[in-house]
Amino acid sequence: MSLKCLDDNNYDSEKCNVYFANYKVCKQFWGHVKSDRKNKGIVPALPLPEDRAQVKKEFLEKQREEKEIALEKRRRKLNL
Total domains present in the chain: 1
pLDDT above 70 for 80: no
Per-residue pLDDT tens digits for 49-59: 999 999 999 98
Per-residue pLDDT tens digits for 4-40: 999 999 999 999 999 999 999 999 999 999 999 999 9
pLDDT above 90 for 41: yes
Quote the CA–CA distance of 44 and 22 in Å, as a whole number: 24
Peptide bond between residue 44 and the one before it cis (omega within 30 degrees of 0):
yes
| Single-letter amino acid, residue 12 | D
Domain of residue 31: give its range. 2-79
Helical segments of 1-80, H only: 2-8, 17-39, 52-79
Terminal alpha carbon distance of the chain: 50
Amino acid 1: pLDDT:
86
| Single-letter amino acid, residue 18 | V
Contacts of 34 (CB under 8 A, 6+ apart): 45, 46
